[in-house]
Structure 1
Amino acid sequence: MTLGLFTYPIAWFGWFRPRDELATAVAELLLVGFYGANNTSPSARLLARQVHRGQVGAVFFVAQNIGSADDVTGLLRLFRSGNVQPLLAIDHEGGIVQRLKKSHGFTHVPAARTVANTLSPAEARTLYAQAGSELAKLGFNMNFGPVLDVDEPGNPAIGRHGRAYGTDPEHIATYAQAFVEGFATAGIACAAKHFPGHGRAMTDSHNEAADISATWSEAELEPFARLLASPQSPPMVMTGHLRLDPISPDGRPATVSAPIVTGLLRQRLGYQGIVVTDDLDMGAISQVMSRGEAVIEAIAAGSDLLMIKNLFGYDPLLPQRAVGWVRKAIAQGTLSQSQVMAAAERVRTLRGQVQEPNGSASRC
């Protein structure tokens, strides 16, 4: 934190920041978090300046960022106040993972298991359309959901909280499609998660990479395959910090694994949309590699949007450091500039699809 305070003025005034085509492309890949729950937060105000200068393309809100309804509105106004309009993301699955609640004027969305047990797919779609309309009205345009994991009650991150729709792949995909379609009516872009399947893991990837090597089967891939082949394919798929040795023998979590992201998701399932990482600052990644290494390995694996909470080890200069990491990796042959440019173009396409606050909803 001390280093963060020391470098804050440099970041605030944008001194020494790169401004070339590559820097612009890297900015599109950055999905960054911030400290604070209102628009007086120095971290939020700096991030807003970096968004307005074109250094960061997307911002995500976590529970720590949610204060009163007025506080959330003020933060969204801060991020949207410049000429450059960012992608603004939040977790709005329902159940335990719903940041904006009745106290904020939002409809309660039950957990996925409850939705699947009590509502028809058509009723679920109506519920999700209402939730999407509320998000869009406030100013959000991205939602990290639906969960396509197989329901396993003993799973500490998913099953224990009822976050999965069931165990049958067709059933899961049907309700996930209702989720995507409902939010799409409001112009909210959704991210199906956690590829290639977190459901049967017995550890929580917030703390360490969840090893699914012994429990994962093709049945966990099928909900993703069905949803991606549906008429309303989600514009984003989120990878989890999941170790799957039969597919990725080097032991790398899916987030930074080319055999899983490029081989399994893009080539085998034919997915052409955006791949977004789970938070690269989570223990599953940060315990085994630096932030810079994680950024490069995620891009090299085939990811497009790189989620970095930037709370612990806060770095005001994160955007320009990311450009430096990418530039060095290109020079060393670890990455190609064409990889970076292609990822940035996919994100720009999404940016053109999401709804503007005063515009009409577009397909997402």
Structure 2
Amino acid sequence: MKKTLFVCFLSLLFSLSACVKSGETTNSSSFTESSTTHSSSQTSTTKSSVVESTQTETDWIQEKITTMTLAEKVGQLFLARFPGEQALNDSQTYNLGGFILFGTDVVNENKDSLIEKIQNLQAEQKIPLFFASDEEGGTVTRISMNPNLVEARFLSPQAIYQEQGWEGIAQDTQEKAAILADLGFQFGMFPVADVATNPQAFIYERTIGLDVIGTNTFVKTVVKSLKETGVASTLKHFPGYGDNLDSHVEIVTDTRSLTELEEDALPPFQAGIEAGADSILVSHNIITSLDATQPASISPTVIQFLREELQFEGVIMTDDLDMAGMTDFTSQEAAALSALKAGNDLVLSSHYASQIPVIIQAVEQNDYPEIDLNQAVYRVLKLKAELGLLKE
């Protein structure tokens, strides 16, 4: 990257047009190609508008962050497992960023009762909460297991694609998002961007079941279909499961080379980023070609790769920190701090009560710099603003 910028700088000294051409080349991804062109006047106008809009957005969100206490800022970085009757107390005590609900949390609800529950919780918040539910479809769905919430269970992407193709995927995504938004959810925690073509692989049934090209199309279709729905897209499980084992029961060690990842695992994430993905969920797998010693979710090297090589600027979140195997690398109390220090913005956890004080202490002792904390809070609040939860 430094070499490319240096070349561009030298070119600028001789010719503005040469620099423009060089800039177009550097902005091209190593995984995808872009053929869109604009006139110079259109480009200038667009860039001016974007800069002005971004500056305005930055100003008021940054200003809001300066008014928040340390505890309020730390709490915003937690997407916590829904604690039932303790939800109101915990959300206020720990200033939580949001809740993720599972099947047991909605099994006794109907539409009216769930909407009322979420609305009542939101009404008591200083900063509105994210509400999330895993709704990949097929084997992973929460709300659609309850016929009082959704008439028919959400189908798997594979089943929809086989019957209706990409139009079916787009329509299903929009319909699912409408249901989620109506109930009060902002996260459906999909699409699955993992490439898996082996039916015996753990992740296979949750994927589109196609090769890397087909998975690219799937991810782009879902992300674009989620835009303007009020429901955020989440690409998972970075940097791709492949045909590996289940990290819910053990830490998976992925020995694929970086070249193999670039050819078969990373392209769908790049495609999703270019389509405007809101967030990316990082797995607990150890990716030896990136970091042979730590799970990806707590690896600064992996998060840096996602930021710098794939140029993702949105919210990065961990997979559930309660998954088996993490205790080999960090204690439960320190797990969230490890994740944030690695560069994550949002932590999925049930143990926020013991983890948040550890983070606050780390910031106070400058073990976790407050400037890094503020950057993560900014990304979280920015997404809340984009989803209509937070207003200037």
2:133 pairs, out of 67, 80, 90, with 90
- TM-score, length basis structure 1: 0.80
- Give the match for residue 201 of structure 2: 155
- Give the match for residue 31 of structure 1: 79
Please list every run of 5 or more consecutive structure 1 residues that lacks an aligned counterpart in the other structure. Answer: 1-18, 35-42, 311-317, 360-364
- Give the match for residue 87 of structure 2: 47
Would the alpha carbon gap of residues 327 and 77 (structure 1) be closer, same or farther in structure 2, given more than 3 Å must change?
A: closer
Q: Determine the C-alpha separation between the residues in 1 that align with 2:224 and 2:154.
A: 16
Residue 332 of structure 1 deviates from its aligned partner by 5.1
Structure 1 letter corresponding to 2:385: G
Contact 1:280 1:286 in 2 (8 A): no
Contact 2:332 2:355 in 1 (8 A): no
Q: Determine the C-alpha separation between the residues in 2 that align with 1:20 and 1:351.
A: 16
Matched ranges for 1:221-236 at <5 A: 221-230=266-275, 233-236=276-279
- Give the match for residue 69 of structure 2: 21
Would the alpha carbon gap of residues 75 and 283 (structure 1) be closer, same or farther in structure 2, given more than 3 Å must change?
A: farther
Q: Single out whichever of 284-293 and 83-92 deviates more from structure 2.
A: 284-293
Q: Determine the C-alpha separation between the residues in 1 that align with 2:295 and 2:364.
A: 25
Do residues 169 (structure 1) and 202 (structure 2) align? Answer: no
Structure 1 letter corresponding to 2:281: M
Q: Determine the C-alpha separation between the residues in 2 that align with 1:217 and 1:30.
A: 29
Do residues 212 (structure 1) and 254 (structure 2) align? Answer: yes
Q: Determine the C-alpha separation between the residues in 1 that align with 2:261 and 2:181.
A: 37
Contact 2:77 2:376 in 1 (8 A): yes
Do residues 325 (structure 1) and 354 (structure 2) align? Answer: no
Contact 1:89 1:144 in 2 (8 A): yes
Q: Single out whichever of 211-220 and 293-302 deviates more from structure 2.
A: 211-220
Contact 2:133 2:143 in 1 (8 A): no
Contact 1:180 1:234 in 2 (8 A): yes
Contact 1:32 1:56 in 2 (8 A): yes
Q: Secondary structure at the match of 1:116?
A: helix
Q: Determine the C-alpha separation between the residues in 1 that align with 2:306 and 2:78.
A: 21
Do residues 255 (structure 1) and 297 (structure 2) align? Answer: yes
- Give the match for residue 297 of structure 1: 338
Would the alpha carbon gap of residues 78 and 285 (structure 1) be closer, same or farther in structure 2, given more than 3 Å must change?
A: farther
Residue 170 of structure 1 deviates from its aligned partner by 2.8
Q: Determine the C-alpha separation between the residues in 1 that align with 2:367 and 2:251.
A: 23
Please list every run of 5 or more consecutive structure 2 residues that lacks an aligned counterpart in the other structure. Answer: 1-66
Larger Rg: 2
- Give the match for residue 271 of structure 1: 312
Contact 2:294 2:329 in 1 (8 A): no
Contact 1:186 1:355 in 2 (8 A): no
Q: Determine the C-alpha separation between the residues in 2 that align with 1:275 and 1:122.
A: 29
Q: Determine the C-alpha separation between the residues in 2 that align with 1:195 and 1:286.
A: 20
- Root mean square deviation, CA, Å: 2.4
Contact 2:74 2:360 in 1 (8 A): no
Structure 2 letter corresponding to 1:174: T
- Greater RCO structure (CA 8 Å; 6+ sep): 1
Contact 1:258 1:300 in 2 (8 A): yes
Residue 261 of structure 1 deviates from its aligned partner by 1.1
Residue 304 of structure 1 deviates from its aligned partner by 0.4
- Give the match for residue 11 of structure 1: none
Would the alpha carbon gap of residues 54 and 181 (structure 1) be closer, same or farther in structure 2, given more than 3 Å must change?
A: farther
Task: Indicate the structure with greater helix content.
Answer: 2
Q: Determine the C-alpha separation between the residues in 1 that align with 2:226 and 2:93.
A: 29
- Give the match for residue 387 of structure 2: 354
Q: Determine the C-alpha separation between the residues in 1 that align with 2:108 and 2:388.
A: 24
Contact 1:132 1:185 in 2 (8 A): no
Structure 2 letter corresponding to 1:27: G
- Give the match for residue 325 of structure 2: 284
1:136 pairs, out of 181, 185, 208, with 181
Contact 1:115 1:165 in 2 (8 A): no
- TM-score, length basis structure 2: 0.75
